[in-house]
Amino acid sequence: MGGHGTFLDPRLPQGKGGGTGVNNIGADGVDRVSAHLPALQEYQYSIDAPAAPAGSYDGAAAARGQALFAGKANCASCHSGALFTDATEGKLHPANASVAADKVYITLSATQQWRTSPLKGVWQHAPYFHDGSAATLADVVAMYNDNPNRPLHLTEREQADLVEYLKSL
């Protein structure tokens, strides 16, 4: 894209003074950016995540975890569809949807809302959440389970099963 053109986003103030929402990149005022963004997003969504290595999770526990993910633990209400996110349907969630430790970052964002993280290949990239406040997938599940806004009341075994399922994605 070469860094040229006018990128329009009404949520962004121009510079520190605030104002028009127009970010002028280049002198000719031609927008060479916006038209490319949908194709770039589709490309990113089309990249396959690496499969979990053979033997890296317990299959029977993962199958029980899958049922919990869709059922009692209700994870699939946000982590839905082939990519395990409702962001592909354009959904965003309020600030309290994140169980991460940090509560400030969201207040600095353009929408002040969260996009549900896709979970394919999640085994590969600890630490988790935007601030890395969950060191392991077991920490992730414990933080959801203990979420004061919506405690899940999962048993130790159910939590372990859910972790095995996450490791399989």
Q: Which of 76, 151, 143, 150 is nearest to 116 (CA)?
A: 76
Among residues 5, 33, 128, 158, which is the contact residue for ligand HEC, using CB under 6 A?
128
Token pair for 73: 């633990």
**In the stretch 108-127, what mask flags binding to ligand HEC with x, by CB under 6 A?**
------x-xx-x--x-----
Number of residues this chain uses to bind ligand HEC (CB under 6 A): 23
Going by the DSSP 8-state scheme, the letter that residue 160 receives in this structure is H
Among residues 61, 162, 164, 168, which is the contact residue for ligand HEC, using CB under 6 A?
162
**In the stretch 70-109, what mask flags binding to ligand HEC with x, by CB under 6 A?**
---xxx-xxx-------------x---xx-x---------
Token pair for 133: 């406040």
Minimum CB separation of residue 37 from ligand HEC in Å reads: 22
Question: Quick one: three-class SS letters along 21-71?
Answer: CEEEECCCCCCCCHHHHHHHHHHHHHCCCCCCCCCCCCHHHHHHHHHHHHC
Residue 139, SS3 per DSSP: helix
Shorter beta-carbon distance to ligand HEC: residue 7 or 144 = 144
Which residues between 8 and 67 bind ligand HEC (CB under 6 A)?
none
Shorter beta-carbon distance to ligand HEC: residue 5 or 145 = 145
What span, in angstroms and rounded, lies between the C-alpha atoms of 165 and 169? 7
Minimum CB separation of residue 11 from ligand HEC in Å reads: 19
What span, in angstroms and rounded, lies between the C-alpha atoms of 159 and 118? 20
Binding residues vs ligand HEC (CB under 6 A): 73-75, 77-79, 93, 97-98, 100, 114, 116-117, 119, 122, 128-130, 140-141, 144, 162, 166
